[in-house]
């Protein structure tokens, strides 16, 4: 089987800083791949480079046989990528309805049906539909960000630290949500919360100093405390 998303020795800069120095990974249709690593390793930059928000300076990024490497972000996304950024990327000056509307690449019946389905999934958003996004709680903002990635028929969803800054009870809700749509979507998840990563991920890649240094199944990582200590700096209980 061909990978849906393939990064081959990708590098990129932010200003003068060489952040990604050779990231390679493959994501197959239907699986959830978790990108792990210490703070500043280049996990978020990897997602932003796939999208095109950080231009790739080398290597290849292929999605479903389409070369994304030199594409501007607005075209990259139109190839079928949903993006849930670390800071949610919610527009405060827009209502919940408008935040969903602006994300819809088409306004055909199929997309409208998907939006309605997403609202059934996130009942909080349905109740706040006409409210400005600035009034939403952290958890609701995260839900809206995920909902926005689901209104289009995307091939793959990139999610950056969905549990960051959220209360434990909200993290559980976010995890359940990811588990629900994991059955239908291919996911790339950047996550510091190891429990969340273990619950959602099928496979993992570890990035250190801008390079992929290890990959395997989540089960292998969960069972190997030495690997966790060496690459992630912690030991699970």
Partner 1 sequence: MHIFLMLLINGLAEGALIFLMAAGLSIILGLLGVVNFTHGVLFIWGGYVSIWIFSMTGSFPIAIIAAVAAGFIMGLIFERLFIRPVYGNVTAQILITLGLGVVFTDMARLFWGPNPIPASRPEFMDGTWVIGAVIISQYRIFLIIIGILVAIAINYLVNRTKVGMVMRAGIQSPDMVQALGINIKVYFAGVFAGGAALAALGGALYVPLVGSVWSGMGINNQILAFIVIILGGMGSFYGSAVGSIIIGLTVAFVSWFYPPLTVYTTVLLLLLVLTLKPEGLFGMAVRN
Smallest gap from Cβ 220 to partner 1, in A, equals 33
Binding residue for partner 1 (CB under 8 A) from 94, 121, 198, 214?
94
Q: Distance between CA 112 and CA 118 in Å, rounded?
A: 10
Residue with tokens 């801008």: 210
Both structure tokens of 140: 């609701």
Task: Indicate which single residue of 40, 66, 78, 126 sits in contact with partner 1 (rule: CB under 8 A).
Answer: 78
Supply φ then ψ for residue 53, to 5 degrees: -70, -30
CB of 27 to partner 1, least distance (A): 19
Give yes or no for residue 93 binding partner 1 (CB under 8 A). Answer: yes
Binding flag, residue 101, partner 1 (CB under 8 A): yes
Burial class (CB in 10 A: 0-12, 13-18, 19+), 159: buried
How many binding residues for partner 1 (CB under 8 A)? Answer: 22
Q: Which residues fall within 8 angstroms of residue 99, CB to CB, at 6 or more apart?
A: 90, 91, 133, 144, 148
Contacts of residue 52, defined as CB under 8 A and 6 or more positions apart, other chains included, come to 68, 71, 72, 73, 75, 76
Question: Which residue in 66, 70, 102, 179 binds partner 1 (CB under 8 A)?
Answer: 102
Tell me the three state secondary structure of residue 173. helix
Give me the 188-207 binding string for partner 1, x by CB under 8 A, dash otherwise: --------------------
Q: How far is the CB of 179 from partner 1 (least distance, A)?
A: 24
For position 135 contacting partner 1 by CB under 8 A, the verdict is: no
Least distance between partner 1 and beta carbon 209 (Å): 25
With tokens 């996304």, the residue in question is 77
By CB under 8 A, the residues from 11 to 70 that bind partner 1 are 51-53
Among 91, 124, 181, 192, interactor with partner 1 by CB under 8 A: 91
Tell me how far, at minimum, the Cβ of 229 lies from partner 1, in Å: 35
Selected range binding partner 1 among 77-85, 112-120, 185-193, 226-234, rule: CB under 8 A = 77-85
Q: Does 144 bind partner 1 (CB under 8 A)?
A: no
Q: Is 79 strand, coil or helix?
A: coil
Does 105 engage in binding with partner 1 (CB under 8 A)? yes
Give the residue with the Cβ less far from partner 1, 151 or 206: 151
Strand, helix or coil at 2? coil
CA–CA distance, 153 with 133 (Å, rounded to integer): 24
Distance CA 39, CA 233 (A): 11
Q: Which residues bind partner 1 (CB under 8 A)?
A: 51-53, 72-75, 77-78, 83, 85, 89, 91-94, 98, 101-103, 105, 148
């Amino acid at each position: 089987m061909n990978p849906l998303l393939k990064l081959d020795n990708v590098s990129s800069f932010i200003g003068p800083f060489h952040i990604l120095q050779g990231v390679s990974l493959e994501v197959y249709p239907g699986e959830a791949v978790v990108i792990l690593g210490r703070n500043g390793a280049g996990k978020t930059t990897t997602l932003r480079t796939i999208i095109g928000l950080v231009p790739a300076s080398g290597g290849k990024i292929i999605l479903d046989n389409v070369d994304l490497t030199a594409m501007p972000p607005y075209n990259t996304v139109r190839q079928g990528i949903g993006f849930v950024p670390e800071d949610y990327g919610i527009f405060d000056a827009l209502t919940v309805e408008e935040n969903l509307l602006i994300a819809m690449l088409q306004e055909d019946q199929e997309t409208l049906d998907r939006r309605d389905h997403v609202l059934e999934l996130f009942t909080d958003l349905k109740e706040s539909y006409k409210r400005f996004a600035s009034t939403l709680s952290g958890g609701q903002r995260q839900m809206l960000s995920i909902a926005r990635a689901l209104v289009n028929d995307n091939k793959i969803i990139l999610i950056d630290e969905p549990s960051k800054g959220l209360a434990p009870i909200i993290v559980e809700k976010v995890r359940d949500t990811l588990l629900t749509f994991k059955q239908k979507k291919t996911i790339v998840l950047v996550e510091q919360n190891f429990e969340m990563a273990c619950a959602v991920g099928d496979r993992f890649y570890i990035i250190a100093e801008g390079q992929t240094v290890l990959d395997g199944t989540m089960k292998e990582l969960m069972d190997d405390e030495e690997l966790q200590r060496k690459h992630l700096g912690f030991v699970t209980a």
